[in-house]
Structure 1
Amino acid sequence: MFEVAIIGSGPAGVSAALTLKSLDKNFIWLSGSAVSQKVARAELIKNYPGLPDVTGGELAWTFKNHCEGMGIKVTERLVTGVYETDGYFTLLAQDEQYEAKTIILCTGVQTVKPIVGEEEFLGRGVSYCATCDGFLYKGKTIAVLCTDKKYEHEIEFLAELSEKTYVMPMYKGYEIKSDKAEIILKSPVKFTGGMRLEKVCFKDGELLVDGVFVLRGSVSPSTLVHGLKVENGHVAVNRSCETNIAGIFAAGDCTGRPYQYVKAAGEGNVAEHSAVGYLAAMK
């Protein structure tokens, strides 16, 4: 079991990981991407101390180089659920499970709102993990909403399992290699059903399905952690970066404005120290 699990590879996650490593803590760092794409794509950053007029790509490289120099690596797995289990937490990350005594959420701010019905039908027809839940839909009709080309292999996996697969790619240049996948160039506006999800609704029609897989680069904190307090779309924390759930801390953009890399890095350090203090109190 790990002492700490960090979720997210942005400045807050980098900061927390570097200090945990310097304190020789046993931790795992999980993210769908080893490098924060928000950082990497930034045009120019003028207010990061010690790095004047740095591009996002340069800052991302600096983060990566610093971490690798200390022997720190990101485990590239998208976390789709965090569950409290008798004094510790279980993290579901695609087809793997991890256990940790504390969690630091550094998931960033969600730029895309959940589709109406998405959270309501989670676990009842909506899934974020193809390899975890794909077998439940063998021989059935499913829809897949995908926001990134890197998940196309998961679409192909699902297409081979299901009887019918509707794919809604939310990006250009898709190359899905499956004769069983039908491309739908529409954006869903709502998921509906009864006890389970039954329909994907568009502005001009609907699809009857047994399930929907939503393949995004991240999952919102409130969806990740049941019962997590959220205010105005952000994780509610105090000055120690503590959430309303003992043992779970949050840092960076997910805790609210200002959305600044330097603020995120500072909060990552605060959250790490709070997690270490929490661990000490457990002994």
Structure 2
Amino acid sequence: MYDIAVIGGGPAGLSAAVNVKIRNKDVIVFTGKNPTSPLLKAPSVDNYLGCPSITGEELLKKYKDHALKLRIPEYPDKVINIFKTSDYFVINANNNFIDALSVIIATGIPRNRYIPGEKKYLGKGVSYCATCDGPLYKNKTVAVISEDNEGEEEANFLSELAEMVYYIPLYKSIYSLNNNVKIISDKPVKITGDDIQVQTLQLKNQSIDIDGIFLIKKVTPITELIPGLEMDGGTIKVDRMMSTNIPGVFAAGDCTGAPYQVAKAVGEGLVAGLSAARYVDTVKKEVV
């Protein structure tokens, strides 16, 4: 059981983790296998106090080195969802389950592109986790649409259950798939069905009849991360203490809205970390 779990290894997440660690709290950071921080692509950061003309990659390395020096553990698997029990949170990271008393969401803004019909049929044949929902499709036909090679493992797992697995990669690679997985190099256009269940995946050049669709994204959509999280448009609604509407859950950085600046992310990470540390202290006192 960790005191605090931080979801995201960018400026906000690492700032939160460092400040939590300094407050002598047991913390873990979920970074994901493929870092997606926009800071990595910044050729020059000119408005971060004390570090003129530093590249985004250099700045992020300084953050990571700081966390490493404090021996803050990083967990590379992608967080699929978070469940709240009566006393703590359970983080599902690719079906490895880690418990924590508090959670700080610092995922940034995932640049998710939704396929028409994706949101409508979520829970009605559309899923973001093959390992979670795969057993529902035994001896049926499913499609896996993946943004990176993580989907190959999911497709291989499904091929042991489903009668037919179609794999639609949205990336180019040498694919490592079981022989009974059929690769379709085409662009998803629309998901259709009736009022109850998905029936068809329309691609640019063809349509396939399916019972289920698994979308493997680089980052889980914020709205699917934890049930009941209150949003403000496309970002997480927080107060000045970076508290969300769910007690024990805090958020920081780009996922809370504009301005999308590294200084704002680091500052919010600090506040979220302090708030989470205070929350954990309160919870532990109540237990005693």
Normalising by structure 2, report the TM-score: 0.88
Tell me if structure 2 keeps the 8 A contact 1:9–1:34: no
Tell me: CA distance 1:174–1:186, structure 2 relative to 1, closer, same or farther (3 Å).
Answer: farther
178-187 or 216-225: bigger deviation: 178-187
Tell me if structure 1 keeps the 8 A contact 2:116–2:189: no
Aligned position for 2:170: 170
Unaligned runs of at least 5 residues, structure 1: none
Percent identity for Structure 1 against Structure 2: 38
Q: How big is the shift at 1:155? A: 3.0
Aligned position for 1:30: 30
Q: How big is the shift at 1:34? A: 6.9
Aligned position for 2:254: 253
Q: How big is the shift at 1:71? A: 0.8
Measure the CA separation in 2 of the matches of 1:149 and 1:34. Answer: 10
Which amino acid letter does the alignment assign opposite residue 276 of structure 1? Answer: A
Which amino acid letter does the alignment assign opposite residue 31 of structure 2? Answer: S
How many aligned positions are there?
Answer: 283
Mapping for residues 1-283 of structure 1, pairs under 5 Å: 1-33=1-33, 35-173=35-173, 175-179=175-179, 180-202=181-203, 205-282=206-283, 283=285
Unaligned runs of at least 5 residues, structure 2: none
SS of equivalent to 1:97: strand
Tell me: CA distance 1:56–1:160, structure 2 relative to 1, closer, same or farther (3 Å).
Answer: farther
Tell me: CA distance 1:149–1:30, structure 2 relative to 1, closer, same or farther (3 Å).
Answer: same
Q: How big is the shift at 1:36? A: 4.2
Q: How big is the shift at 1:243? A: 1.0
Measure the CA separation in 2 of the matches of 1:50 and 1:87. Answer: 41
Q: How big is the shift at 1:98? A: 1.9
Tell me if structure 1 keeps the 8 A contact 2:81–2:93: yes
Measure the CA separation in 2 of the matches of 1:207 and 1:163. Answer: 14
1:227-255 CA distances to partner (integer Å, 9 max, x unpaired)?
Answer: 21111211111111111111111100000
1:39-67 CA distances to partner (integer Å, 9 max, x unpaired)?
Answer: 22332222223322222322232222222
Q: How big is the shift at 1:170? A: 1.6
CA RMSD of aligned residues (A): 2.2
136-145 or 148-157: bigger deviation: 148-157
Tell me if structure 2 keeps the 8 A contact 1:192–1:201: no
Which amino acid letter does the alignment assign opposite residue 133 of structure 1? Answer: D
Which amino acid letter does the alignment assign opposite residue 183 of structure 1? Answer: I
1:186-210 CA distances to partner (integer Å, 9 max, x unpaired)?
Answer: 1233353433332223466532112
SS of equivalent to 1:189: strand
112-121 or 17-26: bigger deviation: 112-121
1:135-187 CA distances to partner (integer Å, 9 max, x unpaired)?
Answer: 43343211111112354333333345432222222223353444322214112
Tell me: CA distance 1:189–1:54, structure 2 relative to 1, closer, same or farther (3 Å).
Answer: farther
Q: How big is the shift at 1:216? A: 1.1
Tell me if structure 1 keeps the 8 A contact 2:155–2:177: no
Which amino acid letter does the alignment assign opposite residue 231 of structure 1? Answer: D
Which amino acid letter does the alignment assign opposite residue 106 of structure 1? Answer: A
Tell me: CA distance 1:260–1:153, structure 2 relative to 1, closer, same or farther (3 Å).
Answer: same
48-57 or 254-263: bigger deviation: 48-57
209-218 or 113-122: bigger deviation: 113-122
Which amino acid letter does the alignment assign opposite residue 137 of structure 2? Answer: Y
186-195 or 106-115: bigger deviation: 186-195
Tell me: CA distance 1:119–1:88, structure 2 relative to 1, closer, same or farther (3 Å).
Answer: farther
